[in-house]
Amino acid sequence: MNLKSLPLGVLGILLGLGGMVAYSLRPDWLWAVTLSEGLALACLVAFFVLHFETVKAFSSRRSTQMGLNSVLMVLLFSAIIVIVNFLASRHSVRWDLSENQNFTLAPQTYRILRTLPRDVKITVFTREKDPGYQAFKERLESYRQASTKLSVEFIDPEKQPKMAQTYGIFRTDTAIFESNGQTIRVTSPSEVELTGALIRISKDAKKRIVFLEGHSELSVEDKDRNGLSISKEALIRQGYDVGTVSLLKESAVPDNTSVLVIAGPRRAVIKEEQDRIHTYVEKGGHLLVLADPDTQTGLETLLARWGVGLGPGVLVDLQDRLAQGDLTALLVRTFTEHEITQDLTSAVLLPLSRHVTFDEQAGKDWDFVPLARTSPNSWAETNMQGRVVSLSEKEDVKGPLPMAAALSPKKAPEEGKPHPAIVVIGNSTFVSNAFFNFPGNSDFFLHTAGWLAEERDLLSIAPKEPALHPFTPNPTQERALIYIQVVFLPLMTFLTGIIVWRKRRRL
């Protein structure tokens, strides 16, 4: 047997295929793959050299040339398919055709993903038959494509019980976020929960939001209708550390306070406390005041130092209010252009509110921006005893009136120094457990907290519910709908029937 009689061509093809299979199974065996592919190349080159004359005679035949053209076309088409798949695997494009853009991430999420400081590992314990499996898979795929610092792994706890036991998994549809020794657990595939977990896991130091207590304020620990436990949970999901402080016991606002919240005090804040709050703001602190009407807050003297006042009476709006509701249940639909309100799309319900005033002379060093106003068909009612509300030109204050405002210094602080900011809202009930989940209320509160804490990426991410767009009419719209549905449409149907009946009688 000589070298020419050996099946070098077949051997070369087998070695080449064997190298490809080995690489797909064990990519770490690079030396074996390289050796196999090198031997395959040597065998094929030797085959063509030893059988050159035979190959030349074979290629000169007419049938071979026709067949060669077909082979070349097949190879060219295959090469195009390979190149397209190669580019698609590295530059994939997805189209979200769902009605409510359920699989399109919010701009805030994209900003957070682009600025992730370190790698984050996400382990999802779920089964294919579980209700959250598909939602986790599709949403986390969008996250993974937006950032190379994310790694996602899905584990079936039934098939890998030891892994589930290691992570302490007692229920499926649970995602574990891990980064830099920190671990955060998420049990919902919603974008709000997932992005909130990314925010918390990627930050070593959390901004702290502190609620003032000691004056019968709304409590962040109270889970009843008038409590703020839901607001507290929402702030924690946004990556904040939430606590309380009593300036009756403390000599100053804690240094690590990013935002101080005064939520609906029912008893007066004494002068010593006001001085401590004023010192905190003047040093670059951020203050959020939620003041209800008909309450003696004692904050009037403090706010007057910055030119802000709390107007008398209760706001009444005959136009922008909740249909079938009280005249004082304001439904805010339009907002002034500001960072807090730029992404607000839902109406905000402010039950029983007061308006905010501004003295330009006393607050000459501050920019006063009303965030929301009542309609022109509104006023501040100063006499609610009889509950028969009507505008009194002498006693009441005619609208439109601002019920929320933001203040910031006109002069920019020196570089490296904190930037003070104040937001005053004439209502605290809208963030209570009874109203926090109303469309727009949670967004407005979280936007305000994000602006005050100077955390622009932590602004609220509206949850994407099923494609349901509820319409909340004001009283004028409600009356128009009643006239159209109850009177106009039945009347038009009746008249059309009469006309058709008369025409048919004449035939």
Q: Kindly state whether residues 453 and 311 are assigned to the same domain.
A: yes
Q: Kindly state whether residues 326 and 438 are assigned to the same domain.
A: yes
Average pLDDT of the residues of the chain: 81
Q: Kindly state whether residues 391 and 312 are assigned to the same domain.
A: yes
The dihedral sign for the CA sequence 430, 431, 436, 439: positive
494: left (phi over 0), alpha (psi -120 to 50) or beta: alpha
Closest CA to 281 of 471, 399, 418: 418
pLDDT at 466: 47
pLDDT at 392: 79
Distance CA 412, CA 367 (A): 11
Would you tell me how many other CB atoms lie within 10 Å of the CB of residue 471? 6
Q: Kindly state whether residues 325 and 434 are assigned to the same domain.
A: yes
pLDDT at 66: 61
CA geometry: angle at 471 spanning 469 and 476, to 5°? Answer: 165
Distance CA 198, CA 177 (A): 8
Distance CA 289, CA 294 (A): 15
Kindly report the CATH number assigned to the domain that includes residue 150.
3.40.30.10
Q: Kindly state whether residues 45 and 76 are assigned to the same domain.
A: yes
492: tokens are 């038009």
Distance CA 240, CA 458 (A): 9
In this structure, is residue 95 part of a structural domain? no
Closest CA to 154 of 191, 183, 125: 125
150: tokens are 């994310």
Domain count of the fold of the chain: 4
125: tokens are 């314990």
Q: Kindly state whether residues 238 and 166 are assigned to the same domain.
A: no
Q: Kindly state whether residues 413 and 269 are assigned to the same domain.
A: yes
Per DSSP, what are the bridge partners of residue 421?
286
The dihedral sign for the CA sequence 162, 167, 172, 176: negative
pLDDT at 396: 85
DSSP string, 33-51: HHHHHHHHHHHHHHHHHHT
- Residue 172: CA count within 13 A, CB half-sphere: 18
| CB under 8 A, 24+ apart: contacts of 87-93 | 92/145
Q: Kindly state whether residues 246 and 333 are assigned to the same domain.
A: yes
**Residues of the chain where predicted confidence (pLDDT) is lower than 70:** 1-6, 9, 23-24, 26-30, 51-52, 54-103, 323-325, 343, 384-389, 455-475, 478, 507
pLDDT at 425: 96
pTM (2 d.p.): 0.63
Closest CA to 350 of 338, 336, 337, 333: 333
Q: Kindly state whether residues 213 and 250 are assigned to the same domain.
A: yes
Kindly report the CATH number assigned to the domain that includes residue 449.
3.40.50
In this structure, is residue 468 part of a structural domain? no
In this structure, is residue 97 part of a structural domain? no
> pLDDT for 230-285, tens place per residue?
999 888 877 788 999 999 999 999 999 999 999 999 999 999 999 999 999 999 99
Whole-angstrom CA distances from 444 to 35, 121, 146, 331 are 65, 32, 27, 13
Q: 378-381 and 366-373: which strand pairing?
A: unpaired
Q: Kindly state whether residues 402 and 348 are assigned to the same domain.
A: yes
Rg (CA), the chain: 34
Q: Kindly state whether residues 188 and 244 are assigned to the same domain.
A: no
Q: Kindly state whether residues 33 and 182 are assigned to the same domain.
A: no
Find the domain containing 483 and state its range.
475-507
Per DSSP, what are the bridge partners of residue 184?
177
Distance CA 441, CA 429 (A): 10
**Domain edge (last residue) among 130, 159, 194:** 194
Whole-angstrom CA distances from 453 to 30, 207, 238, 443, 456 are 52, 7, 12, 15, 8
Distance CA 293, CA 310 (A): 9
How far, rounded to the nearest angstrom, does the alpha carbon of residue 255 sit from its chain's CA centroid?
29
Which phi and psi angles does 53 have, rounded to 5°? -65, -40
Contact 301, 275 (CB under 8 A): no
